[in-house]
Structure 1
Amino acid sequence: MAVTTAGHSRTSHFDLKSAQLPAVAVVLKTTDAAVFAADLAERLAGDPEFFDNDPVLIDLAPVREAAEAIDFAALCAALRAHRTRPVAVRGGSPAQMEAAQAAGLIAAPEAPPAREVREVVQEVVREVRVEVPVEVPVAAPGAVVVDKPLRSGQQVYARGTDLIVMAVVSFGAEVIADGNIHVYAPLRGRAIAGARGNTAARIFSTCLEPQLVSIAGIYRTTETELPESVRGKPAQVRLDGEKLLIEPL
């Protein structure tokens, strides 16, 4: 990057580029920071090393209409105590967003509406019958099938059923299903199974390299390198209680 000044040029010592940062979404369901802190401590009591300085996006949509003020300083302190880094907030009322920004959080874009997601699905999805030589549980009847690569920024949601992806899920893309997710190609983006709370849902991939995996709201980012036994290999993700397990197939 060259910068011209006063008739001569010099070389800059930095570049400015766009970037994407995978983050854990915390959907807030109470305005009481003490109740949230206690609930978070209870959930992570069995695995205090679950997070590893993961960035956090706080979603305020469920409490947007609440009259009570939110103590964002206490909220962020509770998150930091469990090795996370709250950086952004979205979905709140104007007063909530103003208070959050005063506490040092940035305002993130709103999640895309469901109508836009359906349009994307209609564009890239068609149902096909396939025979797959990988021994995994059979997908639910009426599963949504994607047979085209998903690029960064694209999102597919299989409402009420499983999702089968026959091509690569690129870094920055997102696949969501109320049931299981099957990716018979490299999984490099974000995969969210059991989106409506199905704790029996699983994620399968023939080449597991994800930014983030989630089942029934339990998230794990993979900025920390996956074990050699599953990295880039056929693997599954499932829940054991409230802990995500990543295992080879």
Structure 2
Amino acid sequence: MTTSAPNRSIEFRNTTLGATIAVLRDTEPVGLADSLHKMLGGMPDFFNGEAAILDFSGITKAPGRVDWAGLLSLLRRYQLQPIGVRNLPAELSAAARQAGLAILDNLELRERPASETSRTPPPAPAPKAEAPPQPAAPSAPASLPNTLFVERPLRSGQQVYARGGDLVLLAGMSNGAEVIADGSIHCFGPLRGRALAGAQGNSKARIIATNFGPELVSIAGVYRTFEKGIPEAIAGRGAMVRLNDAGNAQTIEIEPQQLD
């Protein structure tokens, strides 16, 4: 199950306000339902109650009407909570307000990669005694990639995002956990849950695991889910996930690896 960006009727982006932007290219619930199923594998808890802003800038031809009840019901099925709309044709604004949506065209939203922060807030830093100012440590050159190491197993509900580089899981992750990296993901242990590499479009990123068994993998926005089970040749074994963009369609390929 793979979906390349040009064929999607809906696309999701995150903002600094914590709301997900759902960029619509179609307003018909039937067509959107098919796209969401292909993208997310029908997993009803993918978004876990996140607020959503519906962006109509991707609509090439303005619809005469929008089935707001069907559209909102579909998004709520995936635990998205629509709160407002952007770039909606003026003639449709009154119906959107009646459906309980705010018009947010004047709200400035800066987009960021999905899941930039963990759902679990970090602990507050302990108070520190005042100390004389110290010389600032020299910063690393911007050209050097970052690698984030996670030494403990990730449990269900936990999220980790490796901004600008690779993510290395030294103890694996459980079902219900989610990891995202702008670069590649390396998992030395059970790979469960959702793993998304190349989050900002790096099609050369990889996902490499010593014990393969995720719910969903993604490279540069192209997804594959495993609701029918992991293929026997790679289930519980070493595997590498990469993006094959040969030809007109991008596809996810998974290759067995001898990683013992």
Structure 2 unaligned regions, length at least 5: 1-9, 13-21, 86-95, 101-113, 126-143
* CA distance, structure 2, for counterparts of residue 179 and residue 97 of structure 1: 41
Q: Give 1:248's aligned residue.
A: 256
Q: Which amino acid aligns with 1:119?
A: P
Distance change >3 Å, CA 200–CA 62, structure 1 → 2: farther
Structure with greater helix share of residues: 1
- What amino acid sits opposite 2:42 in the alignment? D
How many Å separate the matches in 2 of 1:89 and 1:52?
12
Identity of aligned residues (%): 40
Contact 1:64–1:92, Cα closer than 8 Å, also in 2: no
**Where in structure 1 are there 5+ consecutive unaligned residues?**
1-24, 42-48, 80-84, 101-110, 123-139
Q: Contact 1:31–1:70 (CA<8 Å) still a contact in 2?
A: no
Offset at residue 63 of structure 1 (A):
2.9
* 2:172 is aligned with 1:161: no
In the aligned structure 2, how far is the partner of 1:185 from the partner of 1:98?
50
| TM-score, structure 2 as length reference | 0.55
Aligned equivalents of 2:97, 2:153: Cα separation in 1 = 36
Q: Distance in 1 between matches of 2:255 and 2:78?
A: 32
- 1:198 alignment partner AA: N
Match of 1:63 in 2: 54
| Larger RCO: 1 or 2 (CA < 8 Å, sep 6+) | 2
AA in 2 matched with 1:220: R
Tell me the alpha carbon deviations over residues 73-128 of structure 1, each in whole angstroms, 9 at most, x when there is no partner: 7869xx9xxxxx9823525225869859xxxxxxxxxx9773756838x9xxxxxx
User: 1:181: which partner in 2?
Assistant: 185
* Equivalent residue number for residue 143 of structure 1: 147
Aligned to 1:54: 42
**Alpha-carbon spacing, 1:53–1:236, altered in 2? closer, same or farther (3 Å):** closer
| Matching residue within 27, 31, 54 for 1:33 | 27
Task: Summarize the Cα distance change of 1:113–1:52 in structure 2 as closer, same or farther, 3 Å threshold.
Answer: closer
Secondary structure (helix, strand or coil) at the match of 2:82 reads: coil
Preserved CA contact (<8 Å) 1:193 1:202: yes
Pairwise CA distance, 1:163: 0.2
Whole-angstrom distance in 1 between the partners of 2:160 and 2:67: 35
Is the Cα contact below 8 Å between 2:195 and 2:218 reproduced in 1? yes
Q: Please give the secondary structure, in 2, of the residue aligned with 1:33.
A: coil
Paired positions, count: 184
> For 1:5-60, what per-residue CA distance to the aligned partner results, in whole angstroms no more than 9, with x for missing partners?
xxxxxxxxxxxxxxxxxxxx9523126426x959x88xxxxxxx968962466888
CA gap 1:208/1:144 in 2 versus in 1, 3 angstroms: same
Of 193-202 and 86-95, the range deviating more from structure 2: 86-95
> What's the offset of the Cα at 1:154?
1.1
Q: How many Å apart are 1:190 and its aligned residue?
A: 1.2
CA spacing shift, 1:211–1:94, aligned 2, 3 Å: same
Cα deviation for residue 215 of structure 1 reads 1.4
Structure 1's 118 and 144: CA in aligned 2 closer, same or farther, altered over 3 A? farther
Structure 1 pair 152–51 and aligned structure 2 pair: CA distance change class (3 A): closer
Determine the C-alpha separation between the residues in 2 that align with 1:211 and 1:159: 22
Do the aligned partners of 1:239 and 1:245 also contact (CA within 8 Å) in 2?
yes
Query: Match of 1:93?
Result: 83
Relative to structure 1, is the Cα distance of residues 55 and 148 closer, same or farther in structure 2, using a 3 angstrom cutoff?
A: closer
Residue 54 of structure 1: SS of its match in structure 2?
Answer: coil
Q: Partner amino acid for 1:246?
A: I
